[in-house]
Amino acid sequence: MAKIDTPPGFEDFLPEELNARNYLFETWRKIAMRYGFVEYETPIIEFTDLYRKKSGDEIVSELFSFTDRGKRDLALRPEVTPSLARLASQNQRNYSKPLKWFEIGSCFRAESPQRGRRREFIQFNNDIVGESSPAADAELIAMLIDVMREFGFTSDDVKIRLSDRKAWDIFLAGRELPTDALPKFLSALDKLEKDPEGTEKKLGELGIDVEEVRAFIANPTAAAELFNPITDSLAGRGLADFVQVDLSIVRGLAYYTGAVFELFSLKGKHRAIAGGGRYDQLLALMSNGKVDLPAVGYAMGNVVILDLIRETAEPLARLEEYLTVKTPADIFVIVADEAERAAALSVVQKLRDADISTDFPLTPAKIDKQFKMAEKLGTKFAVIIGSEFPEISIKNLTTREETKTTSDNLIEALRQLLDAPDSQNLLA
Amino acid sequence: MAKIDTPPGFEDFLPEELNARNYLFETWRKIAMRYGFVEYETPIIEFTDLYRKKSGDEIVSELFSFTDRGKRDLALRPEVTPSLARLASQNQRNYSKPLKWFEIGSCFRAESPQRGRRREFIQFNNDIVGESSPAADAELIAMLIDVMREFGFTSDDVKIRLSDRKAWDIFLAGRELPTDALPKFLSALDKLEKDPEGTEKKLGELGIDVEEVRAFIANPTAAAELFNPITDSLAGRGLADFVQVDLSIVRGLAYYTGAVFELFSLKGKHRAIAGGGRYDQLLALMSNGKVDLPAVGYAMGNVVILDLIRETAEPLARLEEYLTVKTPADIFVIVADEAERAAALSVVQKLRDADISTDFPLTPAKIDKQFKMAEKLGTKFAVIIGSEFPEISIKNLTTREETKTTSDNLIEALRQLLDAPDSQNLLA
């Protein structure tokens, strides 16, 4: 059988790549929890009908779907919002409102593999359920901003472009459009930047002058009451610089009902880093009308944000500091005399029992080679167990300084050495 | 469309269940890293051929598999070992040996749903690659023991039963069995406890007396040299009480080549909590002979261990302490005067910027109701912003004690109050 690689669009995470992934996870989780969000998770496989119900039959062609032995029509989740709507509507009565819930996990899309688009990707999902006030939109947007600040981005690097579906209701009011014209209008508007001529034509077919649209975008004062509560709240938090009202933001998904927003890099090469908005009717739809709760949410994927971190100085510095660790082990125990291997094993266990991460050579090796192993791994200290045991030497592998101690005092001695850069901890 | 639930065998994690899952993840990760293991991850979807290559055509019926648009035959992973063998053989030259690698992620089996068996489950996978010495087996078993100790189990609760495929080579030596008899023998042996009569019959067909088998199990001194290096290493670490040699342990998987082990509860109701062994030929098989590295590994699932934790006093106490947290927020900011909402927002942001997890009422509410919200969430302190701002009151929601401070001194005052139970931290 031929060599078997990962399928196209699916990728391994080697340890250094996994560290970068975990850095994203830890930052996401830290900021979500700082905002009082709690974590949940839903299955990777759902009934295909869950996605059909939210998005119609067209969605099925974008799914990895299959039939199980019980003839059930199942699919790998392409997003988490339908699952959240199910979970929240089934369980909301057990939690005080609003729910502030987040999730981190893999999603899948069955598109043909292409550069920069993965078929398995990870999404960070955040939703506030049960609060219709724009204060919830502001809280969620503030959280997104603080995620970016924690990564090291400033308002010179990234901006949130904020719009509202209802602003275009105001624009269209009194224009006597057919009732089904709004989706066509929004779809045309979505292409305004990329295809100005095509957009002008499509708007013309609806009897709308593209210049009027441009004027409304340039001066959206008529829609100010939609945005002011959000931007005021962000200004109160000192985060106003990160947000600009931009009515050209539409977002394709039909289920949004109010505010919509996307996070962009000001360098501009990238697709949106994150996007979301208000979807006040989805829970009612998914629960067949039983639970009618408003909701607002956003999602951020792992691919674009990591590319952007790697291209931006301060965020890259924060990531790299995290990636320099090649081993979690702080200590490498050197067995200088094989006659003392049992003693060395007892020391290894003593260190690990004290929650000091420790590695050691599993088999006999010359002392020089053992030091090389320690250096290759990048441990901070070597603890040398030889014929003089229970006397023990500790060697700082950076400064080459050597300290003598005994088996009984080893833990305390190591704690002091490990904590030394942060002198406050010496008091603890 | 009818109400859509999770498919059978797939489960949601509500926030409190997710906390329990994260407790497993954090404990697993902590102990693996304490042993110097580094984390990796592989895709959830692989070529079906990867599993065929390791386990033969029969495995396919146990997989969720499907054909993608590019006519590729893909499957959801039922385990991670084949992916690890691929990843390690492709990349081993960039890492010092032995590799000590771990992974945590979802696996899937297409069996019919039944009670206590999930079709999506999470496995914790640990492998040492590139070291043939039994010292690696001992290191891995010690790590498994320390995972259980960290959960709060003792050697009165759980035991590792250790066997070795080679012990049965010794037993069978000189018996002139046909060359293909070993798999039949091991398969019969595997049922010795559950089906003594059937086993006796099957062994008889191979010309083997079940009493000789029982005698060899009762007194495995002939195979002592296989186990002594492992049990000596564990004794050196003070962990010998957790292990007993038990040659009746076979483990079904054909790919094991040496030591095999399973972790059991002494209460006995449960299936194995974890299992593993040495598989010295798998990397060569998966790399078509290019990389011939020995390996030893084990896996632990999320379902049995969590059931066992919930049934055992000390482990349950440690889990429950972790689950009492209903919100990550330590602080609830009370807006006592709506005229001061902007000030309250600035305080909320200041607290969050100081990495103090904070929640607050998104919309105006009576003060009584706001205190009730804080109590329902279970935050430790309320920070009250009213007309006297920048003077601020802090209320301990457990003791009802109230402290006065000012906006400028708030962070320091809160840090002291939050750290108060652990008086040493007051010095930091």
Give ipTM to 2 decimals.
0.92
The answer to whether the CB of B231 falls within 8 A of the CB of B243 is: yes
Query: Are B276 and B376 members of one domain?
Result: no
CB pairs under 8 A between A and B: 268
- Does residue A243 lie in a domain region? yes
* pLDDT score of A174: 80
- Do A316 and A335 lie in one domain? The reply is no
User: Is A70 part of a structural domain of the chain?
Assistant: no
Q: CA B6, CA A42: separation in Å to the nearest integer?
A: 9
Q: pLDDT tens digit string along B176-203?
A: 887 778 888 888 888 888 899 999 999 9
* Domain shared by A291 and A361, yes or no: no
* Residue A344 and residue A370 in contact, taking contact as beta carbons nearer than 8 Å: no
Residue A149 has pLDDT above 80, yes or no: yes
Q: Is residue A78 reached through a cis peptide bond, with omega within 30 degrees of 0 on the bond before it?
A: no
Residue-wise pLDDT for A20-57, tens only, equals 999 999 999 999 999 999 999 999 999 999 999 988 88
Q: Binning pLDDT at 50, 70 and 90, where does residue B116 land? A: low
- Last residue within a domain, chosen from A288, A322, A356: A322
Task: List chain B residues with CB under 8 Å of A288.
Answer: 1, 3
> What are the φ/ψ torsions at residue B419 (nearest 5 degrees)?
-85, -10
- Asked if residue A8 has a cis previous peptide bond (ω within 30° of 0), the answer is no
- Answer yes or no: do A328 and B37 touch at CB < 8 A: yes
In CATH, what number is assigned to the domain containing residue B368? 3.40.50.800
In a domain? residue A61: no
Domain boundary among A295, A322, A349: A322
B371/A contact by beta carbon, under 8 A? no
What mean pLDDT, rounded, does chain B reach? 92
Please list every residue in chain B whose beta carbon sits closer than 8 Å to the beta carbon of residue A120.
43-45
B55 lies in some domain: no
Q: What are phi and psi of A268, to 5 degrees?
A: 85, -10
Other CB atoms within 10 A of residue A328 CB: 21
CATH classification of the domain holding A167: 3.30.930.10
Paired sense of beta strands B243-245 and B158-164, if any? parallel
Reading the block at residue A60, the tokens are: 């099925």
In this structure, the answer to whether residues B343 and B315 fall within a common structural domain is: no
Beta bridge pairs of residue A260: A163, A277
Q: Are residues B307 and B347 in the same domain?
A: no
A256 token code pair:
């949004």
Task: Indicate the pairing of strand B381-385 with strand B331-335.
Answer: parallel
Band of residue B3 on the pLDDT scale cut at 50, 70, 90? low
Answer yes or no: do B266 and B400 share one domain: no
My answer on whether A97 and A225 are in the same domain is yes
Same domain, B315 and B343: no
Strand pairing partners for A391? A406
B6 secondary structure, DSSP code: P
> What total number of domains does chain A contain?
2
**Can you give the residue range of the structural domain that contains A35?**
15-42+77-322
End-to-end Cα spacing for chain B: 59
For the entire predicted model, the pTM comes to 0.93
Averaged over B377-387, what is the pLDDT?
96
Determine whether the interchain pair A352/B35 forms a contact, defined as Cβ–Cβ distance below 8 Å. Answer: yes
Higher confidence at residue A170 or residue B132? B132
| Spacing of C-alpha A201 from chain mean position | 39
First-to-last alpha carbon distance for chain A, in angstroms, is: 59
Closest residue on chain A to B118 (Cα) = A43
Tell me if chain B has a CB within 8 Å of the CB of A3: yes
Rounded CA-CA distance A53/A282 in Å is: 10
Q: Are B136 and B128 in contact (CB under 8 A)?
A: yes
User: Is B42 within 8 Å of A12 when comparing Cβ atoms?
Assistant: yes
Contact B35 A87 (CB under 8 A): no
Domain assignment of residue B67, yes or no = no
Strand order from edge to edge, sheet including B65-67:
B45-47, B73-76, B65-67
Q: Given pLDDT bands bounded at 50, 70 and 90, which one contains residue B425?
A: very low
Report yes or no on B422 lying in a domain: no
Q: Using the beta-carbon criterion (under 8 Å), do A39 and B53 form an inter-chain contact? A: no
B291 and B353 assigned to the same domain: no
Is residue A65 included in any domain, yes or no?
A: no
Q: Would you say residue A265 lies in a domain?
A: yes
pLDDT(B428) > 70? no
Contacting residues of B for A362, CB less than 8 Å apart: 98, 128, 131, 133, 135-136, 139
pLDDT classification of B237: cutoffs 50, 70, 90: very high
* Claim to verify: residue B285 and residue B363 sit in the same structural domain: no
Residues in chain A closer than 8 A to B87 (CB atoms)? 12, 14
